[in-house]
Structures are given as structure tokens and as C-alpha cells.
Amino acid sequence: MPSYLQVENISKSYGTKVLFEHISFNINEGDKIALIAPNGTGKTSLLSILAGKDSSDRGGDIKFLKNIVIAFLEQETVLDPGKTIMEQVIAGIAPGAVQRDAWDLETEVKQILTSLGLSDFSCRCASLSGGEAKRVAIASVLASNADFVILDEPTNHLDLDAIEYLEDYLSKSRRTLFMVTHDRYFLDRVCNTILELDGGNLYTYKGNYQYYLEKRQERLAVASALNEKYRNIYRRELEWMRSTPCARTGKARYRENAFYDLQEKAAPIRETKQLAINLGSARLGRKIVNCRGVGFSYGERPIVRDFTYNFAQGEKIGIVGANGIGKSTFLNLLTGALQPDCGTIDRGETVRFGYYRQEGMSFKESQTVLEAVQEIAETVRDATGAQISVTTFLQQFLFPVEMFNTRISRLSGGEKRRLYLLTVLMQRPNVLLLDEPANDLDIVTLNVLENYLKEYDGSVILVSHDRFFLDKIVDHLFVFTGEGHVKDFVGSYSEYREFMKERRRAAEKAARAEKAPAAPRTKPAPASDKKKLSWKEQREKEKIEAELPILEARKAALETELSSGTLDIAALTAKSREIEQIIADIDAKELRWLELSE
């Protein structure tokens, strides 16, 4: 395989803070590489240097294979508010990309946008949400047909359907990829190589995320054993140095030089500090939040319709659904930041909410890290009830003493997120509402947060697009399906997706069976432990079972037409909108079928 990129001896610092120094690596055609490193160690800076948006300090060399096309998805999406979605995607296509005629290009862009859940191609970018803007930027990268694609947190702000589409697209693509991502399922299913930046050194693991975890532990164990060996030899040689006269023979001088070389090897291994969350929660009574017939709408658009549920102590609920469907609004209703249009929300007297908002905290950028925390409290209580100073607490959250006087404006996005998480948890809430907590947090921090939440004795209500995070934490899901409907699914996110796939496979099988001659069927006896459906409900269930195969067949036909390349622009637009509506109808009917089947 030809080498697409050779990086030699590059470095980056900001003031006195060294991000990385003298690192080198090579990327070959077809590699799909993920870079893993803690927040604040320069991941985004490294990607920007490779993409030509920034430069290395003190020289270094970056060589790309001649004539390859490079596309860069930046972490922060900046669009022209006056452009339509279609205009923005085409304007954002990487320079030098493979040229196609206007019709072919527009057709391909529309197919990508539709797959990402954007069907109104004439919509102005000024009206887009953060997740929609990210999908527009992704469409530009995919439509570029670039040879080498650089991705900085590609899954941030995407809903789960868009993530799974992008994951499937990139895993099948032959393009060479270099990315930073904290999404471990995405990383595991797309990448074949991991680069780890640790303590200024770069380590390569030829495998996926699970392979990396295993081999990293082996590397650390070997390094620790080797260091201990050198330390034992060093102690012996130190005694010799102290006992031997200063006048030395040639042989002794050689041994003395070897001693100084050994001294470096025997230096204590720099400990990789890890986030420590050792906090308890305030006492929580039996009543948490009781909802009765809650309804809320924005204008004519229902967000929640007739929602009834009593939240219980210690339960951990995941909330999933498309971007813009109302998940964050739902959290604001629970806390009282918004009032329902109808119904009641009754909160327990002992409830102390900790609300980690998706948009983050409005820190004063001129404040230092220590000042921002001291504004909330001078001390906090740990899980045993003992008081600890906020300076100790900051260090447990990986803010060393030398960072206490760092202005917040100089923190990386991930460091600001970690500081925000600290300010939420230090108030010892007993009901945690977490809205996209995985955005911008590094993998090490996510692992520690997951372990904390698993043992957390309060209640957790979690909105997240991070499937690994959801699978590890939640007991059941609230699935927002649109039009204000919320379905309670008992199980993990992966179990929910597998259930939905099984339903679609069953529907496709039924559609095929409809075309074959009908065979006599014996109606199964109803299960004795199931509630018998009313006549009306049974008719509704039978109607859904008849409609699903038709919808699936129409969806398959539309997919074939959309990928045929024979449609004109008007037909392509109409069919793109039709397939989007059909997919929504299928999801809604499948969930209703599940309710009736239960």
C-alpha cells in the first residue's frame, strides 16, 4: 500500500504548555486510524496541522502523497447563514475533489442528505440546529469523494440514526481515515488502527478499540516490570559510584557513563493520572418526580402528549430520539424550567437536581479555574461525608495546581466540559439530569463517569447519542417517536435496536410471504399471562401487521429508485421526502405494535 502521509518530528505548544513534541508517524492507503488522548493534550491541534489549518512549532515535516484529495471535518461547524443546505454542501466540497457534472453531483448530495435525515434542500443554514449543521458539514465531506478524510469528533451533536448511517458508510468505504472520536462503538466498528498519545509519546496498535484496551494494559505492565528491573540495577550501581574513588580507569569511566544512561531508564514512570469521582448524593425521599397526564407543545408541534410516570429512586433512564424531537425540553419540564400545558408534575421535597445541560455552563471567560469553582463552594463532601477543599477536588478532576490560575478562555473544549461536570457534581445532587454528557469528554473521563454513575445511589435521567455509554448505564429507555409519543422500552439501547431490526426483518419476510401462495396457518393459542386485547385493539394490531409489509415494500422500492441515477431533480426531491415520511411511519407503527403485543 502506498504511503498517503508521512509525519516527522512535529511539535505544538501554547505558551509554556507543551501539547506534543517531536512526534512522527505514517499513514498508508486504506488505513482507518483513530487518535486517542486525554482532553487538553492537542488532538484537535494535531488534526488542524495535518489539514493545513495550523502549523508545527520548531519545524517538522508533513508530506502527503502527490495529488491526493483531503477533506477535513472540523469539530466546530461554521456555515454561511445565507446559503441553502444544498448550496452550503456544494460550497464545502474539498478543493481538488473528483469532478462530476452538476446533475450527478446534485443527485449524490441529495442522496447523502436524505440518508442523514435532511430532505428540505432549500432550507437556509441560518435556521439549522447544531445537529443539522453538523450533518450538512458531513455531507460536504462525503460528497467530496476525498482520498484522505480527517474527522474531528464526527458523532458530536448527531442523533443515533445519523451516527449509525455514518458508521455504516465509513466502515464500507475504501477511503483512508484519520479521526478523533470518543464514540467507542463507532471507533470499534470503523477503525483498524489506534494511535495513543500518552505522556508526549505516540504508540500504535494495529487493531480496533477492544484490541487497543488489551494491548495497552500489556504495554503498561511490561513498562512497569522493565522499570523495576532498571531500578534494581541502578541501586547496585549507585552503591558502586559512591564507594569507588574519583580517580578512574578507562573501564571505570565507561561504567560511570553507563550509570548516567541507566539513571534515565530507572526514573519513575510518569503516572497517568485518572479522574477520581468520590462523591455521595444528598438524602432522597421516596417521592422523586410524579407526572400525570403531562402535555406540552411548541405552537402546533406536540413535544409530550399525555405522559404519566412516577420516577423511582435509583433508576437510570436513557432518553433517545431524533434531534429536535424534544428530549432537552422534556428535561426542562421535569426540573420546572418549563411549565406543562396540561397535567401535573409533582416533585419530592428532598429532590436536589443536578442538571448537566447540553449547551454547557456560561463561565466567565476571564475567570480562573479556581475562581469559577470557589464561586460555588470552598469545600465539598466526599462519599464518606468528609469535607475536602475545592483545590483537592480540582486535582481529582485532573486540574493540577499549575492550572488553578489558568483563565477559562484558555481551556480546551474538553477541559471546559470536565470543569462543568465538576461544578454539577460538587453540589451533591440526588437526581442527575445529563443532557449529552459524552460530547467533548475524552474516553478515560467517560469510563470513570460511567463507573461512578453505575454505583450512584440517586436517580439518573440521561439524554445521549453515545450507545456505549447508554448500554453501560441505563436500565430502560424513553423512546421519543414524534408527535409527542413516548415509549418506555425495558432494556439497553443495543437491545432496543436489535428489537427494531427484528421487527423490520419480520415485516420484510411478511411482505415476501404476501407475494407467495398463502399456506394454511394454525392460529396460536393466546398466552395465559397476557392481558387480552379488546376487539378494537385487536383490529388495530391486525391493521398494523397488514400495513407494515406494504410500507417496507414501498421503502425498498424508493431506495432502489433513489440510487438508480435516473430521476430528475423534481422527482428525486419528491421521493426523498416520501421515504423520510415512510421511515417515520414504520417506526411509529412498530412501536405501537410492540405496545399492543405486550
Which range has the top average pLDDT, 239-243, 351-355, 520-524, 543-547?
A: 351-355
Please tell me the predicted confidence (pLDDT) of residue 252.
65
Least confident of 71-75, 152-156, 527-531: 527-531
User: What does pTM read for this prediction?
Assistant: 0.73
Model confidence at 269, pLDDT cuts 50, 70, 90, reads: low
Radius of gyration of the chain from Cα atoms?
28
Residue 91, H or E segment: helix 85-91
Pairing of strands 379-381, 17-28: unpaired
Say what the pLDDT of residue 517 is: 60
Any bridge partners for residue 326, and if so which? none
Q: Give the residue, 431 or 221, on which the prediction is more confident.
A: 431
- pLDDT attached to residue 145: 87
* pLDDT above 90 coverage of the chain, percent: 42
Same CATH topology for 3-209 and 289-491: the answer is yes
Long-range contacts of 161-169 (CB under 8 A, 24+ apart): 161/117, 161/322, 162/116, 162/117, 162/131, 162/135, 162/138, 162/323, 163/465, 163/467, 164/497, 165/115, 165/116, 166/116, 166/138, 169/115, 169/142
245 band by pLDDT with thresholds 50, 70 and 90: low
204 strand-pairing partners:
195
Topology, domain 3-209: Rossmann fold (3.40.50)
Which residue is listed with cell 411548541? Answer: 298
Residues 184, 190: contact at Cβ < 8 Å?
A: no
Per-residue pLDDT for 205 more than 50?
yes
Mean pLDDT over 95-104 rounds to 74
The grid cell for 54 is: 495550523
**Pick from 12-16, 224-228, 245-249, 420-424: least confident:** 245-249
**The pLDDT of residue 398:** 81
Q: Do residues 428 and 419 make contact, with C-beta atoms less than 8 angstroms apart?
A: no
What is the spatial distance between Cα 369 and Cα 411, in angstroms, rounded to a whole number?
9
Given a cut of 80, whether residue 396 has pLDDT beyond it is yes
Question: What is the distance between the alpha carbons of residues 187 and 179, in angstroms, rounded to a whole number?
Answer: 9
pLDDT digits (tens, 9 = 90+) for 160-169: 889 999 999 9
Sheet containing strand 316-320, strands side by side: 353-356, 431-435, 459-463, 316-320, 476-482, 485-490
Closest CA to 196 of 223, 221, 215: 215
Lowest mean pLDDT across 14-23, 75-84, 585-594: 585-594
Range with lowest mean pLDDT among 226-240, 261-275, 282-296, 515-529: 515-529
User: Which of 34-38, 73-77, 548-552 shows the lowest mean pLDDT across its residues?
Assistant: 548-552
Q: Are 449 and 421 in contact (CB under 8 A)?
A: yes
pLDDT of 228 > 60? The answer is: yes
Query: What pLDDT does 98 receive?
Result: 62
At 399, the pLDDT band (50, 70, 90 cuts) reads confident
Please report, for the chain, the start and end positions of each structural domain, with discontinuous segments joined by +: 3-209, 213-265, 289-491, 496-515+531-597
Question: Residue 484 above 60 pLDDT?
Answer: yes
* Sign of the four-CA dihedral 572, 573, 575, 580: positive
What pLDDT is attached to residue 353?
A: 95
Beta bridge partners of 296: 304
DSSP string, 237-256: HHHHHHHS-SS--HHHHHHH
| Residue range 289-491, CATH number | 3.40.50.300
Task: Please report, rounded to a whole number, the percentage of residues in the chain having pLDDT higher than 70.
Answer: 87
Mean per-residue pLDDT over the chain, rounded: 84
Cell matching residue 432: 442527575
Instruction: Decide which of 16 and 485 is more confident.
Output: 485
- Report whether pLDDT(262) > 70: no
Which range, of 74-88, 196-210, 363-377, averages the lowest pLDDT? 196-210
- pLDDT confidence of 528, banded at 50, 70, 90? very low
